[in-house]
Chain A
Amino acid sequence: MASPSPGRMSGPSASTGGSSTELGVILPYPEQAIARRSFEPVAAPEHPLIRAARSGAASMLPTMVMIAGLLAFWQLLCGSPSATFPSPLAVWQESHDVIMHPFKGVEIGLTHFSIQDGGDVGIAGHVLTSLSRVLIGYSIAAVIGVALGILIGQSVFAFRALDPLFQVLRTVPPLAWLPISLAIFQQAQPSAIFLIFITAIWPIILNTAAGVQTIPAAYRNVAKVLALNPIEYFVRIMLPATVPHMFTGLRIGVGMSWLAIVAAEMVQGGTGVGFFIWDSYNSSLLTDTIVALIWIGMVGFALDRIVAFAGRIIGRAG
């Protein structure tokens, strides 16, 4: 870029090259330089790694203190031998095997994993089983949900036809679908997948549709003036403009899937983390249930973060 000659953009004084005063010549400061200056860091820059570590520690510390405090409080509350609920120490002692050997009976390769049939499987094996069901059901829901969302967002006719139906169906609790799902598929695995699908799809449809409907008129006018064809409009305008809404739906959907899978597996039995909880409750192993709860929470949190992260990456790529 050529360096801007003073006054070129500041207009009037360009011809004179600056105005003279008693104290000296005033040269107009180029606008570009002013604009660029505001993007420069003010303080001396710290090494990025040190800065990241510092801010990481600052945000982690309160969490750590809080967790330690809660554990101590819980121990105080449930520490006596007469307590009906196990203390953290009791969980650590009684479920030591479950905590320390989560991958018992699980074989994990680079591209596949296999879980021992029946009998003694670690908690991670059950979580993986549940995750694989969620992955299949949720992926189908994401593809069909986004497609249906774009359809009813684009077409007023389709919206009028389908929206009331969706609004009613989305309020049906996931477990209410279970008998229907079992009746259709007869087996545990496909009916659990169907349950995930039917739970996750509604927020995906409705948020995608809202995203398409709220594309600003300004962007549509730009597309018209540029005479973009329908495919260009879809790729260059509609998808990027809708991505934030779409991923709001996808995030709600993945959270609801994870809620539904545990409930479904508790009722259906066999395998999965929901079954693990039910099984440990029936065997009066309450400490195992507590360990499973922590696993479920962590995995659910991770799922939410993964979808949010994907949304940010795709949103940025445009």
Chain B
Amino acid sequence: MKQRSYLALEGVTVEFPTRAGRFCALDGIDLEVEKGQFVALIGHSGCGKSTLLNAVAGLVEPTRGAIFLDGELVDAPGPDRAVVFQDHSLLPWLTVEENVRLAVDKTAGGRNRVERRDWVMHNLELVQMAHAAGRRPGELSGGMKQRVGIARAIAMNPRVLLMDEPFGALDALTRAALQDVVMDLQARLNNTVLMITHDVDEAVLLADRVVMMTNGPAARIGEDLAVALARPRNRLEAVDTAQYAEARSAVIHFLHERYRNPATLAA
């Protein structure tokens, strides 16, 4: 048997029972991700991107096929696959620090109180949110909440970081600031990342690979594009390169020519 990649999805099929029979969201997805790779998943709404991410998170069980992380079968959710949720999912009754602390307490076995506190603050500093440690999520802007959501996820020291359209609900300027945060983190930590996005520029700018999915139901991987931009990346330098333009063009042609949005086809 060949050596499996760090994160390996093998023939993952997900079906949901509905009143009209079985609904097949994903049909035999094969995906291999190397350690330290940043993979963006892109596709139209309803193509099963979130289902794929939830399957890796362990929140959805594949009907057929299997997912392996570092050689181990994924069969339940766990903090080694930290998720940054689209709606940030911070607990409103806890402060920013307590939200991250809850995650740290579940993953920092053996560390004492002071070390845990320091680790929480270190991660908040990485996303420039240490100044808001004592505030509650309700007092923060959307961008700030998502920074905390990212801090909570990376504080768990995950083996793979899963981001479910993390900036989808943010305005364009805030989104750019958060993308810079993610680029900065990637340069420092070199996490293995699986990120869902709707935004072509975001995918090309952040990812080493852009995995494009066909329209659902029974979505498959349509194309797997390597982005040959050097790291660490800088937005202004990247957008002027030929590689950026090529990658961007390839993704746009895939999304708007080969697999057009089913909603616009119907219109």
A residues near B (Cβ < 8 Å) are 1, 4, 8-12, 15, 31-32, 35-36, 39, 218-219, 221-222, 224-228, 236-237, 240-241, 315-316, 318
Which of B13-21, B40-48, B173-181 is near enough to bind chain A?
Answer: B173-181
A236 / chain B contacts, CB cutoff of 8 Å: 91, 102
Q: Are B130 and A218 in contact (CB under 8 A)?
A: no
Nearest chain A residue, comparing its CB with the CB of B54: A221
CB proximity of A228 to chain B, nearest CB, Å = 7
Task: Give Cα A35 to B127, complex, Å.
Answer: 14
Task: Give Cα A12 to B233, complex, Å.
Answer: 10
Q: Are B89 and A218 in contact (CB under 8 A)?
A: yes
Q: Are B235 and A12 in contact (CB under 8 A)?
A: yes
Central interface residue in B85, B91, B234, by most chain A CB within 10 Å? B91
CB proximity of B163 to chain A, nearest CB, Å = 13
Q: Are B131 and A1 in contact (CB under 8 A)?
A: yes
Task: Give Cα A4 to B181, complex, Å.
Answer: 14
Beta-carbon contacts of B109-143 to A below 8 Å, as 1s and 0s? Answer: 00000000000000001001011100000010100
Interface class of chain A by DSSP: helix
Let me know if B83 is at the binding interface, CB within 8 A.
Answer: yes
- Residue in B81, B83, B141 whose CB lies within 8 Å of A35: B141
Task: Give Cα A228 to B102, complex, Å.
Answer: 10
Q: Are A226 and B79 in contact (CB under 8 A)?
A: yes
Beta-carbon contacts of B46-63 to A below 8 Å, as 1s and 0s? Answer: 000000000001110000
7 closest Cβ contacts across the A-B interface?
A318-B93, A11-B180, A224-B77, A218-B89, A12-B236, A240-B93, A226-B106
Task: Give Cα A107 to B50, complex, Å.
Answer: 68
Task: Give Cα A9 to B57, complex, Å.
Answer: 30
Nearest chain B residue, comparing its CB with the CB of A8: B128
A224 / chain B contacts, CB cutoff of 8 Å: 58-59, 77
Q: Are B81 and A10 in contact (CB under 8 A)?
A: no
Let me know if B218 is at the binding interface, CB within 8 A.
Answer: no
Nearest chain B residue, comparing its CB with the CB of A315: B93
- Residue in A4, A218, A237 whose CB lies within 8 Å of B128: A4
Nearest chain A residue, comparing its CB with the CB of B141: A35
Task: Give Cα A8 to B127, complex, Å.
Answer: 11
B58 / chain A contacts, CB cutoff of 8 Å: 224
Please report which residues of chain B, range 81-102, place their CB below 8 angstroms from some CB of chain A when the two chains form the complex. Answer: 81-83, 85, 87, 89, 91, 93-94, 102
Nearest chain B residue, comparing its CB with the CB of A243: B93
Let me know if B144 is at the binding interface, CB within 8 A.
Answer: yes
Known: A31-B177, A318-B93. A227 touches B235 (CB 8 A): no
Task: Give Cα A227 to B89, complex, Å.
Answer: 15
B78 / chain A contacts, CB cutoff of 8 Å: 225, 227
B79 / chain A contacts, CB cutoff of 8 Å: 225-227
Q: Are B89 and A222 in contact (CB under 8 A)?
A: yes
CB proximity of A216 to chain B, nearest CB, Å = 8
How many contacting A-B pairs (Cβ < 8 A)? Answer: 76
Q: Are B102 and A32 in contact (CB under 8 A)?
A: no
CB proximity of B48 to chain A, nearest CB, Å = 18
B131 / chain A contacts, CB cutoff of 8 Å: 1, 32, 36
Known: A15-B234, A225-B83. A9 touches B91 (CB 8 A): no
Task: Give Cα A31 to B132, complex, Å.
Answer: 13
Nearest chain A residue, comparing its CB with the CB of B89: A218
Q: Are A225 and B57 in contact (CB under 8 A)?
A: yes
What would 27 A/B residue contacts be, using CB atoms closer than 8 Å? A1-B125, A1-B130, A1-B131, A11-B177, A11-B180, A11-B234, A12-B180, A35-B132, A35-B141, A35-B144, A36-B131, A221-B83, A222-B89, A222-B91, A224-B77, A225-B78, A225-B79, A225-B81, A226-B103, A226-B106, A227-B77, A236-B91, A236-B102, A237-B91, A315-B93, A316-B93, A318-B91
Task: Give Cα A13 to B250, complex, Å.
Answer: 28
Task: Give Cα A9 to B234, complex, Å.
Answer: 12
A316 / chain B contacts, CB cutoff of 8 Å: 93
Task: Give Cα A125 to B125, complex, Å.
Answer: 61
Q: Are B85 and A11 in contact (CB under 8 A)?
A: no
Q: A222-B85, A225-B59 are in contact. List 4 more A-B contacts (CB 8 A).
A: A9-B180, A12-B180, A226-B103, A240-B93
CB proximity of A214 to chain B, nearest CB, Å = 14
Task: Give Cα A173 to B98, complex, Å.
Answer: 46
A225 / chain B contacts, CB cutoff of 8 Å: 57, 59, 77-79, 81-83
Nearest chain A residue, comparing its CB with the CB of B88: A218
Task: Give Cα A228 to B125, complex, Å.
Answer: 26
Q: Are B235 and A11 in contact (CB under 8 A)?
A: yes
Task: Give Cα A195 to B233, complex, Å.
Answer: 71
A31 / chain B contacts, CB cutoff of 8 Å: 128, 177
B85 / chain A contacts, CB cutoff of 8 Å: 218, 221-222
Task: Give Cα A240 to B102, complex, Å.
Answer: 14
CB proximity of B58 to chain A, nearest CB, Å = 8
Q: Are B128 and A9 in contact (CB under 8 A)?
A: yes
Task: Give Cα A105 to B131, complex, Å.
Answer: 60
CB proximity of A318 to chain B, nearest CB, Å = 3
B177 / chain A contacts, CB cutoff of 8 Å: 9-11, 31
CB proximity of A127 to chain B, nearest CB, Å = 36
Task: Give Cα A187 to B79, complex, Å.
Answer: 58
CB proximity of A240 to chain B, nearest CB, Å = 4
